[in-house]
Amino acid sequence: MCYRRSCRRGFFGGGHDKKNVTLEDIAKGIREREYKRIVVMAGAGISTPSGIPDFRSPGSGLYNNLQKYNLPYAEAIFEINYFQYNPKPFFALAKELYPGNYRPNLTHYFIRLLHDKGQLLRMYTQNIDGLERMAGIPAKKLVEAHGTFATATCTVCLREFPGEDLRSDIMDGTVPHCSQCKGVIKPDIVFFGEQLPQNFFLYLTDFPMADLLIVMGTSLEVEPFASLSRAVRGSVSRLLINRDLVGPFAWGSSQHSDVAELGDVVSGVRKLANTLGWMPELEALMADESQKLRTRGTLTTVTELNCNERRIGSLI
């Protein structure tokens, strides 16, 4: 088996006789536009610096903080059968997670910069917080694998609603109901037991086309998302920016062109941006977007504005 795997890697230009790729090599390829079809895979770890707790971190993950909802087990809050039985716990959690409560951080804006430079093929995200959209990454460049709050659907008559139509009810702690049939309106978040969004299957064409895969802030534990990390061609470099080795990076099945930058995700992205020479541009983008939020009135109080500027400053 080892011999056959080595032959395959060599056939696609990734034989074991080649030197290991480094972060500097990855940065050089991005800077010199050798990589023009970059795919990014991201999980909750890119949003925790914005203040959103992730789902699985011991002692701080969302699953560990759900006891107050009196669930039979933590995962029930995202199970469609339990939602149909009792939607109140989900909407209590939705009030905390709803887009607008948090702001994008340096990692989101780095991905936005990849898009601005014409090098982002697609971003596949497990997150439902909407921070990618808020950072200015266009919807057509996003595959929100676990759904989105941007749209919603009545669970009875299937009428579709803009996500903003639910905001007042959710913020008031009320379960939103359809004006036509009185059914519960559910944000288009993918629950356990539901089908993935149709655009998830763009991976069938995106990953074979990708010339670089960046994986960041994810445990790679939830399928089928996790398997995407193995869907690129054998010759394609994979960069992991993460707290821990995960998926193929941890199984002993990594290849010479894999690079792992371990530790805090924002620190890892900052290191990549510095190596690229992009930090001044990235800082300017973040400052500009912060100004746009102020102009739009998204940050409505002096206290909120100061908190956001301190958060952005701490992430630069």
242 burial class (0-12, 13-18, 19+ CB within 10 angstroms)? buried
In 43-154, beta strands by DSSP E: 120-125, 142-144, 147-154
Cα separation, 59 vs 295, whole angstroms: 38
Instruction: Confirm or deny that 307 is annotated as ligand binding.
Output: no
What's the full length of the chain, in residues? 316
Instruction: Confirm or deny that 45 is annotated as ligand binding.
Output: yes
Instruction: Confirm or deny that 17 is annotated as ligand binding.
Output: no
Instruction: Confirm or deny that 294 is annotated as ligand binding.
Output: no
Say if residues 216 and 26 touch (Cβ distance below 8 Å). no
Instruction: Confirm or deny that 226 is annotated as ligand binding.
Output: no
Instruction: Confirm or deny that 135 is annotated as ligand binding.
Output: no
Contacts from 57-62 at CB under 8 Å and sequence distance 24+? 62/93
160's enclosing H/E stretch is strand 160-162
Joined together, the tokens standing for residue 165 give 């139509």
Tokens 């709050």 correspond to 149
Q: Which of 45, 42, 46 shows the shortest CA–CA distance to 213? A: 42
Say if residues 241 and 265 touch (Cβ distance below 8 Å). yes
Instruction: Confirm or deny that 129 is annotated as ligand binding.
Output: yes
Tell me, rounded to whole angstroms, the distance of Cα 27 from its chain centroid: 21
Instruction: Confirm or deny that 55 is annotated as ligand binding.
Output: yes
The catalytic position among 16, 146, 177, 256 is 146
Is 108 designated active site? no
Instruction: Confirm or deny that 244 is annotated as ligand binding.
Output: yes
Residue 179 one-letter amino acid:
S
Instruction: Confirm or deny that 181 is annotated as ligand binding.
Output: yes
Cis amide linkage into residue 138, ω under 30° from 0: no
Helix, strand, coil abundance in the chain, percent, nearest 5? 45, 15, 40
Instruction: Confirm or deny that 154 is annotated as ligand binding.
Output: yes
Instruction: Confirm or deny that 25 is annotated as ligand binding.
Output: no
Instruction: Confirm or deny that 56 is annotated as ligand binding.
Output: yes
Instruction: Confirm or deny that 2 is annotated as ligand binding.
Output: no
Instruction: Confirm or deny that 83 is annotated as ligand binding.
Output: no
Using DSSP bridges, classify how beta strands 160-162 and 147-154 pair: parallel, antiparallel or unpaired: antiparallel
Instruction: Confirm or deny that 157 is annotated as ligand binding.
Output: yes
Say if residues 17 and 11 touch (Cβ distance below 8 Å). no
**Catalytic residue annotation:** 146
Q: Which residues are documented as binding site? A: 44-48, 54-56, 126-129, 154, 157, 178, 181, 218-219, 242-244
Query: Binding site for Zn(2+): what residues are annotated?
Result: 154, 157, 178, 181
Q: Which residue positions form the known binding site for NAD(+)?
A: 44-48, 54-56, 126-129, 218-219, 242-244
